Amino acid sequence: MLWYTGKRILQMIPVFFGATFLIYFMVFALPGDPIAALYGDRPPTEAVLEQVRARYNLDQPFIVQYLLYIGGIFTGDFGTTFSGRPVSDVMAAAFPITFRLAMLALLFEAFFGILVGFVAGLRKGKWFDNSALVVSLLLISVPTFVIGFIAQYLFGVQWGIVRPTVSGDANWNELILPAFVLASVSFAYIVRLTRASVSDNLSADFVRTATAKGLSRRRVVTVHVLRNSLVPVVTFLGVDLGSLMVGAIVTEGIFIIKGVGGTG
C-alpha cells in the first residue's frame, strides 16, 4: 500500500509539469501581443508598452517566463492581475463560492434524484415512471445554459420570486436557483441510474428471499432494495462533484456568481 501510494505521488510530478507547461504554452501560442491588446484602439507610447511587458516578464523568452512562473508558484507567489491584485487572493475569494454552489447542487441532485428515481423504479411502467423518464430525457438534451436563461427569466424577471443575479456575497439562499440549474443534468442521470438499479434489485434473489422470510414490504424496499441500489449512485456522485465544479463556470456566467468562473 505504501509502495503504491508513493508511486502515485511520484507520478504526480510529471503530470504537474506536463499540465502547467501545456496550458502555459497554449495560452502563449495564441497570436498577438496581450499587452498591446489591453489598450484597445488607443495604444500608449511604445516606451510604456515595453515597461508593462517587462513588469509581467513578457519581454523574456518563453521558457524563461515559464520557469519564472513555476518558481513563483513554489514560493507561493501566483502572480498579480492587471489591476494589481495577487492571484492567490482572487482565487481565495472565488473558490469557496464555487465550492458552495457545487455542494448545494450535489445535495439537490442526490436528494431529488434518488427520491424520484426510487419512486419511478418501484412503479415501473406507470405514469410517474414515464413522466420521470421524459423529464430526465429533456434535461439531458437541453444544454445547461438554456435551462439557466429560462429559469432566470421565469423566476427572476417574469414571476419575480428571486433576484435574477447573485450578489457579491453569494449567500446560500441566493444560490438555490443556480444550484438547481447546475444540478439539472446530473439530476437526470441519477434519476435514471437509481430507477434502473431499483427495478433490477426488485427482482433480485436476495429481495425475493427477504420477502419470502415474511419481512414487511416497507422494510424490504427501504433496507434491501434502496440500500443496495445506491452503490452505483454514490459512485456517480463522487465523480460528479468534480464535474460540477467545472460545469459551474457556465452557471456562474449566467447568474453573475463571483466564483472561479467569473475570474477570467
Partner 1 sequence: MSAIAFMAVGAVALTGCAGGNEEESSSSGDASAIVTTNGSEPQNPLITTNTTETGGGKIATSLFAGLVSYDADGAIQNEVAESIESDDATNWTVTLEEGWEFTNGEAVTSQSFVDSWNYGAKLSNAQSASYFFDDIVGYNAEADSELTGIKVIDDTHFTVELAAPEADWPLRLGYTAYMPWPSVALEDITAFGENPIGNGPYMLAEEGAWDHEVGIDLVTNPDYDGVRKPANGGLNIVFYTDLDAAYADVQSGNLDVLDAVPDSAFSTYQDDFPESAVNQPAAIFQGFNMPYYLEHWSGEEGKLRRAALSMSINREEITDVIFQGTRTPATDFTSPVLDGYSDKLKGAEVLEYNPEEAVKLWAEADAISPYTGTFDIAYNSDGGHQAWVDAVINSVVNTLGIEASGKAYPTFAASLADREANALTGGVRAGWQGDYPSLYNFLAPLYLAGAGSNYEDYNSPEFEAKLKEGTKAATVEEATKKYQEAQEILLADLPTIPLWYSNVVGVSADTVDNVTFGWDSVPLYHAITKE
**Per rule CB under 8 A, is residue 29 in the interface with partner 1?**
no
In the complex, the smallest distance separating the C-beta of residue 44 from partner 1, rounded to whole angstroms, is 5
DSSP string, the chain: -HHHHHHHHHHHHHHHHHHHHHHHHHHHHSSS-HHHHHTTT----HHHHHHHHHHTTTTS-HHHHHHHHHHHHHTT---B-TTS-BHHHHHHHHHHHHHHHHHHHHHHHHHHHHHHHHHHHHTTTSHHHHHHHHHHHHHHHS-HHHHHHHHIIIIIIIS-SS-SS--TT--TGGGHHHHHHHHHHHHHHHHHHHHHHHHHHHTSHHHHHHHHTT--HHHIIIIIIIHHHHHHHHHHHHHHHHHHHHHHHHHHHHHT--SGGG--
Binding mask 129-148 for partner 1 (x = CB under 8 A): --------------------
Q: Is 33 in the site for partner 1 (CB under 8 A)?
A: yes
205 scored as a contact of partner 1 (CB under 8 A) = no
- 182 vs 202 by CB, closer to partner 1: 182
**Sites for partner 1 among residues 146-175 (CB under 8 A):** 149, 152-153, 156-157, 160, 163-165, 167-168
Among 2, 13, 29, 40, binds partner 1 (CB under 8 A): 40
* Among 101-109, 129-137, 226-234, 256-264, the segment contacting partner 1 (CB under 8 A): 256-264
Binding status of residue 79 toward partner 1 by CB under 8 A: no
Among 6, 18, 43, 143, binds partner 1 (CB under 8 A): 43
| Residue 84 sits in the site that holds partner 1 (CB under 8 A) | yes
Residue with the three cell numbers 419511478: 120
52: cell is 508593462
Q: Tell me if 100 contacts partner 1 by CB under 8 A.
A: no
Residue 242 touches partner 1, criterion: CB under 8 A = no
28 Cβ contact list (under 8 Å, min separation 6): 62, 65
Distances (CA, A) of 72 to 66, 68, 69, 98, 206: 10, 6, 5, 25, 59
Q: Is 36 in the site for partner 1 (CB under 8 A)?
A: yes
Backbone φ, ψ for residue 80 (5° rounding)? -125, 155
Least distance in angstroms from the C-beta of 43 to partner 1: 5
Answer for which of 6, 18, 55, 143 binds partner 1 (CB under 8 A) is 55
Nearer to partner 1, 52 or 68 (CB): 52
**Binder to partner 1 among 22, 23, 38, 231 (CB under 8 A)?**
38
71 lies in the site for partner 1, by CB under 8 A: no
- Residues at the site binding partner 1, with contacts judged by CB under 8 A: 30-34, 36-48, 51-52, 55, 82-85, 90, 93-94, 149, 152-153, 156-157, 160, 163-165, 167-168, 253-256, 258, 262-264
